[in-house]
Chain A
Amino acid sequence: MTTAAVAAPITAQAFKADYKPIWCPGCGDYSVLASVNKAFAILELRPENIAVVSGIGCSSRIPAYTTCYGFHGVHGRALAAGTGLKVARPDLTVLVAGGDGDGYSIGGNHFLHACRRNVDLTYVVMDNHVYGMTKGQPSPTTEPDWDSKLSPGGTGLRTFHPLVIALAAGANFIARAFSGDPNGTAQILVEAIRTPGFSFVEILSPCVTFRPEQRDWKSQVRPAPVAPTDDPARAARRIMTDDGFNIGVLYKGARKPYQPPVGMGAKRPADLEAEFTI
Chain B
Amino acid sequence: MSRATATKTRARKAGGRRAASARDRKKPAAMKPNPTVQADFLARAWAMEVEAAERYAMFADAMDEHNNREVAELFRKLARIEQLHADQLLEENLSRHPPVLPAGGVRWDGGEGPETGAPGELHYRMQPYHALQIALACEKRANKFFADVAGSTSDAKVRKLAREMAEEEAEHVRLIEDWLKRTPPPDKDWEHDSDPPVVSD
Binding site for B on A (CB under 8 A): 20-28, 30-31, 34, 38-39, 42, 135-137, 148-150, 178, 180-184, 186-187, 190, 206, 208-210, 215, 218, 221
Contact = CB atoms under 8 A, between A and B. Distances in A.
Nearest to B116: A182
Contact of B112 (A26, A181, A209, A215): A181
A210 B200 contact: yes
B198 A25 contact: no
A184 B58 contact: no
A184 B104 CA distance: 7
A38 B104 contact: yes
A21 B104 contact: no
A215 B122 CA distance: 11
B87 interface: no
Contacts of A23: 62
A20 B120 contact: no
B104 A183 contact: yes
B200 A183 contact: no
B58 A34 contact: yes
Nearest to B66: A25
B62 A21 contact: yes
B112 A182 contact: yes
What's the interface size class on B, roughly? 20 to 34
Contact of A184 (B65, B111, B199): B111
A190 B103 contact: yes
A25 B105 contact: no
A34 B62 CA distance: 14
B112 A21 contact: no
Contact of A21 (B54, B61, B106, B107): B61
B119 A28 contact: yes
B123 interface: yes
B145 interface: no
A11 B14 CA distance: 58
B198 A135 contact: yes
A183 B65 contact: no
A83 B110 CA distance: 36
Contact of A25 (B63, B199, B201): B63
Contact of B104 (A178, A190, A208, A218): A190
Given A30-B62, A42-B104, A136-B199, 15 more contacts: A20-B61, A21-B62, A25-B62, A25-B119, A25-B126, A26-B121, A135-B199, A180-B112, A180-B119, A183-B107, A183-B108, A183-B111, A184-B107, A206-B120, A208-B122
A-B residue pairs, 8 tightest by C-beta: A181-B111, A25-B122, A183-B105, A187-B104, A136-B200, A215-B120, A26-B122, A186-B104
A13 B136 CA distance: 27
B200 A148 contact: yes
B179 interface: no
A24 B59 CA distance: 11
Contacts of B197: 24, 209
A34 B53 CA distance: 13
